[in-house]
Amino acid sequence: MSIRKRGLWAPVLWLGGIGVAAGSLALAGTGLPLPTQLSDFYLYGTQPQTPRPPNLPGDLGFNEMTSVENCAGCHATDISVTEQPFSYSTPYNRWSYSMMSQSFRDPIFLAAMQVTEKVAVASSDSCMRCHAPAGWVQDRGVQPDGSGRNGELIESPDRQGVNCISCHRQVDPANNPGAPAVDAEILAALGADRPPNFPAVGERPGSAIAANGAVFDPEDRRRGPVDLGFFFYHQWLESDFHRQSAMCASCHDVSNALFMKQPDGSYALTPYGQPHPTGNKYDMYPMDRTYSEWLKSAFAQGPVTLTIPNPSTIPVPNEDPTPGAPPEPLANPTLIGRYQMDGVTIDETTGERLIFRQRNEDGFRYVPVAYDSCQSCHQPKSIGTGCDPALGPLSRNVPIHNFAGTNSWVLNAVNDLYPSGETLMERPEEVTASVQRNLHMRRMASDMELSRVGPNLRVRVINQTGHKLPGGFAEGRRMWINVRFLNGAGGVVQELGAYDSATAVLDEASTKVYEAKHGLDAAMALETGLPMGPTFHLDLNNKTYLDNRIPPRGFTNAGYEAIGAAPVGATYADGQFWDDTDFAIPAGAVRAEVSVFGQTTTREYIEFLRSHATDVSTIVPQPGVDTWTLPTIGGPFPPLGAAPYSLGDIVFAQWYKWGKSAPVEMDAGSVLLACSPADIANTDGDAGPDGTVDNGDFSLFFSAFFADESDPARLLADVANTDGDPGADGTVDNGDFTLFFSAFFVGCP
């Protein structure tokens, strides 16, 4: 068998089902950087091409990837003053203010890529494949001579991240029914680079999607989910692939081809200078499995109903029903789909937050309540137009190109670092709105339930997404529970999971933190000379040390084991999409206030990037009068060095400037812990409610009531406020006596 990468043919010997390149077995103790080559990171699919001018007739090679400015002429509306009607539905308007459009300029990405290149030669090429796909496929990534290793060859049009054409020229690598007829020819022309149709094995998924490679149409044929009918502005093809989650798989399942999965479930380094022995992503180390998590969830099996109360009270009329259809009643649904609002866009008809409505076949408006794909949550459809309203009808159900995720601050950093002429983000208020859409998406991702179970407070966090929670790349991302136990006077008895905003330090030991930690096993520690254990070195990690993130609906242990996403350091039963944490109720606590927080970038990760991304970037502008201003660094953080600043210092400065990735409150609630004002003692007779009223409460109350006024324990009898109602007022008097005894003889409900 032979495998090709940019003209490199690699003979592979097959021993016991595992490919081993002759004479190239890695020896222990190689050290850093690893002597990797482009071939080590090969994935099936379209390989880097030398482009030709667009729209030349005949089979003349790979057509240039059109710039976003070409698309904006028709697929944008004028928002220089205010949003025009339905402008939220024209793709360019919202895409240009999303992290998708800034995926290459993202300073966190650029710093991580620089670090990766320092420890594994040519590894940054695989990063650019998804963060600047138009540049990568046009051969502006890492070159055989070593140039372009940190994105220096990525040209200005390529820096528009995941741009229009890099999605709308993608071909279904599995050539499923509904694919354009020409795709069979395109796939056949790939030859040895064609993604194989891997068989499914037990719970392990199969098909060409398992190759994790993207395939691009060599011609400039724009593909999408809509039949455009008679249309002549550019070549187009209706593509069912663009309606499916599989469209997202090539970049939202991230696999490290340096490693081969072993029979015992560990991952071993493959021979240097050779492509992966099988090319199947499920044999590679799983850096991120967002798509596969969805694939093994209930959402992939059919629509899952997820609703929230409708915040609107204003009926929305059906203005444009299909001719001859019966009139639609002016009604407003009580429940709407959880992801049918972005929390920001205003409905110009009602003046309220917009609810994304669609039209059914009879032309009636309705609000979807069920979700089955990545697009249905991250690109919910709405009545609108895919282009300027002057050029197209408003009757379509158009995917809104918000691409909302959960990043809370990096878009602000991109807007600060680069001129608007480069980022295409010309309106600061739209940057703010896009960040707010991300925060709204994060808050929609979970629900929380609080209850008392014996002497404990139980906090249940429910995953309302189609993947793990928190999702995506693990580095720097986490979620945790904050609990504040309060006494009757409202004072804090105990706080768990406290976060110091000045130092960006979380008290992790006292609470549940949801996160994943990757690192080096003993073999990779020996190979690299780094310590064994968790690390932020993306391309060196080959072991998952922790992954207690909450799985989605439909989770099974066997299914997640098959995709390399099994829980580690936590136990979830099949079908479980929530997690319960019990916190011991401290003495004197009568109420608890609980929040779930999420954070995009931890201090630990930003300090790693600061200390390892030590080179000056040729892409990210230095601070200056005409560029951006440095913040004044204070607190426990070391000051910046001298100019020119390293990329690590710039990333740290932006993180600091934008609030140190301040935690986002996802859920909040409170719960009374005592079942009655007389419930003041636990089962041992010590202070603290236990959900019952008995002689222990009687004894503790009398002991406290008649204690000396100087004894702090006397306040345990403070069960009434100044009006004699349940609460506390800081004094012990007859009001407390009266309330306690009236409650004692009633008992708990």
pLDDT in tens, 430-476: 999 999 999 999 999 999 999 989 889 999 999 999 999 999 999 99
pLDDT at 21: 39
Q: Is residue 45 over pLDDT 60?
A: yes
Whether residues 484 and 535 fall in one domain: yes
The answer as to whether 137 is a domain residue is no
Least confident range of 34-43, 242-251, 386-395: 386-395
Whether residues 649 and 578 fall in one domain: yes
Query: What separation in angstroms does the CA of 177 have from each of 184, 223, 239, 240?
Result: 11, 15, 10, 8
pLDDT at 173: 97
- Domain ends where: 669, 704, 720? 669
Which pLDDT tens digit goes with each residue over 122-180? 999 999 999 999 999 999 999 999 999 999 999 999 999 999 999 999 999 999 998 99
- Domain ends where: 636, 669, 702? 669
In this prediction, residues 28-48 reach a mean pLDDT of 94
Whether residues 682 and 579 fall in one domain: no
Least confident range of 8-22, 314-328, 363-377: 8-22
CA–CA separation, 350 and 345 (whole Å): 12
pLDDT at 128: 97
* Residue ranges making up the domain that contains 488: 442-669
Which pLDDT tens digit goes with each residue over 126-140? 999 999 999 999 999
Whether residues 655 and 678 fall in one domain: no
Q: Is residue 6 over pLDDT 60?
A: no
Percent of all residues in the chain with a pLDDT value above 90, rounded to a whole number: 74
Q: Is residue 287 over pLDDT 70?
A: yes
pLDDT at 322: 52
Whether residues 492 and 586 fall in one domain: yes
Q: How confident is the model at residue 55 (pLDDT cuts 50, 70, 90)?
A: low
Q: How confident is the model at residue 26 (pLDDT cuts 50, 70, 90)?
A: very low
pLDDT at 56: 55
pTM of the model: 0.91
Whether residues 509 and 647 fall in one domain: yes
3-class secondary structure, 519: strand
The answer as to whether 632 is a domain residue is yes
pLDDT at 81: 41
The answer as to whether 255 is a domain residue is no
- Bond preceding residue 326 cis, omega within 30 of 0: no
Task: Count other C-beta atoms under 10 Å from residue 57's C-beta.
Answer: 5
The answer as to whether 211 is a domain residue is no
The answer as to whether 654 is a domain residue is yes
Cβ(543)–Cβ(521) under 8 Å? yes
What string of DSSP letters covers 76-123? ----SSSPPTTGGGSHHHHHTTSTTTTTTT-HHHHHHHHHHHHHBTTT
- Domain ends where: 643, 669, 695? 669
More confident site: 367 or 57: 367
Whether residues 633 and 733 fall in one domain: no
Q: Is residue 72 over pLDDT 60?
A: yes
Cα angle for residues 527, 530, 531 (degrees, 5° grid): 115
The residue among 99, 620, 107 whose CA lies nearest residue 413 is 107
- Quick one: angle between helices 107-119 and 410-417, nearest 10? 90
Structure token digits, residue 571: 């136990």
Query: What separation in angstroms does the CA of 538 have from each of 26, 517, 545, 717?
Result: 20, 11, 14, 56
In this prediction, residues 493-511 reach a mean pLDDT of 98
Number of domains in the chain: 2
Length of the chain: 749
Whether residues 660 and 682 fall in one domain: no
Whether residues 595 and 540 fall in one domain: yes
Cβ(677)–Cβ(719) under 8 Å? yes
pLDDT at 351: 83
Buried b (16+ CB within 10 A) or exposed e, 202-223: eebbebbbbbbbbbbbbbbbbb
3-class secondary structure, 286: strand
pLDDT at 689: 84
Q: Name the β-bridge partners of 371.
A: 304
Q: Name the β-bridge partners of 478.
A: 599
Q: Is residue 105 over pLDDT 80?
A: yes
The answer as to whether 500 is a domain residue is yes
Cα angle for residues 91, 403, 648 (degrees, 5° grid): 120
Whether residues 540 and 467 fall in one domain: yes
Q: How confident is the model at residue 304 (pLDDT cuts 50, 70, 90)?
A: very high
The answer as to whether 448 is a domain residue is yes
Whether residues 719 and 574 fall in one domain: no
The answer as to whether 494 is a domain residue is yes
Whether residues 566 and 480 fall in one domain: yes
What string of DSSP letters covers 398-458? EEPTT------SHHHHHHHHS-HHHH----HHHHHHHHHHHHHHHHHTEEEEEEEETTEEE
Arithmetic mean of pLDDT over the chain: 90
Q: How confident is the model at residue 583 (pLDDT cuts 50, 70, 90)?
A: very high
* Maximum Cα–Cα distance across the chain: 99
Q: Is residue 84 over pLDDT 70?
A: no
Buried b (16+ CB within 10 A) or exposed e, 16-47: eebbbbeeeebeeeeeeebebbbbbbbbbbbb
Which pLDDT tens digit goes with each residue over 707-716? 999 998 898 8
